[in-house]
Structure 1
Amino acid sequence: MPFSMKNPFHAVPALVKNNSSEINVILEITCGDIVKYEYDKNYGMVVVDRILKTPIPYPFNYGLIPQTWNEFDNDPLDVIILGNKPFYPGVLVPCRVIGMLSVDDNGERDDKVLAVPIGDSRLSHITDLSDIDEKELESMIYFMEHYKDLEKKKVEVTGTVDAKTAFKFIVECQECYNTKFDIK
């Protein structure tokens, strides 16, 4: 019998448990890296998209929520994972939603969910955006607004939202996924 592997984007649920505010994140980009990896939904694996032209490494881990679809940028919903410990691209990181950055990426809405890893006890006190250090938030925003500077593309963080509002958007993106991929 031939070996068959399920595509994690379709096989892994968005939520860690039903009716939970904890999400699964497929990691794409490692904290401290300048390689822009992207999850290829067709191949079911992380591929190298490009090397950042701006010599500013990602100050956070970055990934996507499986079984979600952001209709504004036509991609799975993106997640910024707080913390400075790098994870490997392709791993699954269970996280707690704490908020969201509203982002305009070269004229396209491309919001980023903010989350903390459930398995990091040093971040267990963070349950909402108001719990994180202001300097850490400023650092994330600075990176987002400048990592494409040398590509002559404009990225602007237009605001932030709390965990409850972010989670509502995740649910909307789950519904968009179900519609796009004809899931009943």
Structure 2
Amino acid sequence: MSLSRCGVSWSRLYATAKRLSTVAGFSANGPNHSLSVRCRRYAASTATSHQSSTRVNMYVAEERGAPFTPEYRVYFKDESGPISPLHDIPLWADRAQRLVNMVVEVPRWTNAKMEISLSEPLNPIKQDVKKGALRFVHNVFPHHGYIWNYGALPQTWENPQHVDPATQARGDNDPIDVIEIGERVAQRGDVYPVKVVGTLALIDEGETDWKLIAVDARDPSAAQLNDVADVERLFPGLLRATVEWFRLYKVPDGKPVNKFAFDGEAKDKEFAYKIIDEVHDFWRSLVNGEVADATNICTSNVSVAGSAARLERARAAALLAAAPPAAPPAPRPPQVDKCYYLSNL
């Protein structure tokens, strides 16, 4: 869709993107992203918002460091400067329509295990590290990388001190995960409203790790996806492939097959929204400093009313300014493209 058909002025977009890039003294010609990339991201988000009555929030993802290195980070900004994607992006995009915001960590078909950093100020996205090595998920035949856009809901937290009565396992100490099944391949750092239709309950190394099943609210199939049963009707085989993916993806590392609560059955949307409300309440307790033994999570934010960890905008800008400049991606390890053939036990 062209911008002119949407009634969007390119000069206006350019001016807005330039203003975003120069918030708190960041140069529009700085080494992080080219201005043209920022304009395209902003334009795409604005154009799609004209196709829906749902407001699409304007967040800018800013890369720092070189992808596929330990220094790589993706920071987030709103129109006033840097923010935390975990604490400052609202959970609800449109509560009346039951749409929640999703932060994309891993685009479909990619392998790098990216995730919101809980321990760092501003909670940027970074690549996970295990045993001193950057993590890439293995290709377990017939899958390649992640088979959906993968990310998390902001302002949620799976409390490790809480034993879920349905799964009899504690939370995994992360924001709740989302698998987004729409047709578009997202970009890392995208933020957009999704419609939740169900959830799976992965038991990952003894912890409850909810996997919400959702679709981009602007996807052509969104109007027909109203509950988990519609996933099988419209995307036959996807739920089965999803369960297989999570069961087997750690096996090439020598770990056992993962298990699911409810025998791998996906629960419906009403069940899923109850879980969302619960983990949102856990997050609120966390950010308000009411949770003991949660010192490994940085709760710094710029917008949460009453939070003791609230930062001045200038301080948030200084944190981002101190990050290394963006750089070209490092080579991926050659074994990332290897395919593993496993029996689906």
TM-score by length of 2: 0.50
Q: Does 1:57 align with 2:142?
A: no
Q: Does 1:172 align with 2:278?
A: yes
Displacement of 1:47 in angstroms is 1.1
Residues 105-144 of structure 1: pairs in structure 2 closer than 5 A = 105-133=204-232, 134-144=236-246
The C-alpha deviation readout for 1:16-50, integer Å capped at 9, x for no partner, is 12344211000011111111111113243221221
> Does the CA-based 8 Å contact 2:157-2:176 persist in structure 1?
yes
1:46 corresponding residue in structure 2: 125
The C-alpha deviation readout for 1:125-177, integer Å capped at 9, x for no partner, is 01110001241110111111111111233322333210011001000001000
SS in 2 for 1:121: coil
Larger radius of gyration: 2
Displacement of 1:121 in angstroms is 1.3
> Does the CA-based 8 Å contact 1:31-1:87 persist in structure 2?
yes
SS in 2 for 1:86: coil
Note closer, same or farther for the CA distance 1:121–1:100 as it changes in structure 2 (3 Å cut). Answer: same
User: How many angstroms apart in 1 are the aligned matches of 2:271 and 2:94?
Assistant: 19
Q: Does 1:9 align with 2:86?
A: yes
> Does the CA-based 8 Å contact 2:138-2:145 persist in structure 1?
no
1:89 corresponding residue in structure 2: 188
Note closer, same or farther for the CA distance 1:11–1:25 as it changes in structure 2 (3 Å cut). Answer: same
User: How many angstroms apart in 2 are the aligned matches of 1:106 and 1:138?
Assistant: 21
Runs (4+) of structure 1 exceeding 3 A deviation are 1-4, 53-56
User: How many angstroms apart in 2 are the aligned matches of 1:119 and 1:81?
Assistant: 12
User: How many angstroms apart in 2 are the aligned matches of 1:116 and 1:18?
Assistant: 16
Unaligned runs of 5+ in 1: none
Note closer, same or farther for the CA distance 1:2–1:87 as it changes in structure 2 (3 Å cut). Answer: closer
2:6 corresponding residue in structure 1: none
1:70 corresponding residue in structure 2: 158
RMSD: 1.9
SS in 2 for 1:10: coil
> Does the CA-based 8 Å contact 1:31-1:84 persist in structure 2?
no
User: How many angstroms apart in 2 are the aligned matches of 1:99 and 1:139?
Assistant: 15
Aligned counterpart for 1:33 among listed residues 87, 98, 110:
110
Q: Does 1:157 align with 2:257?
A: no
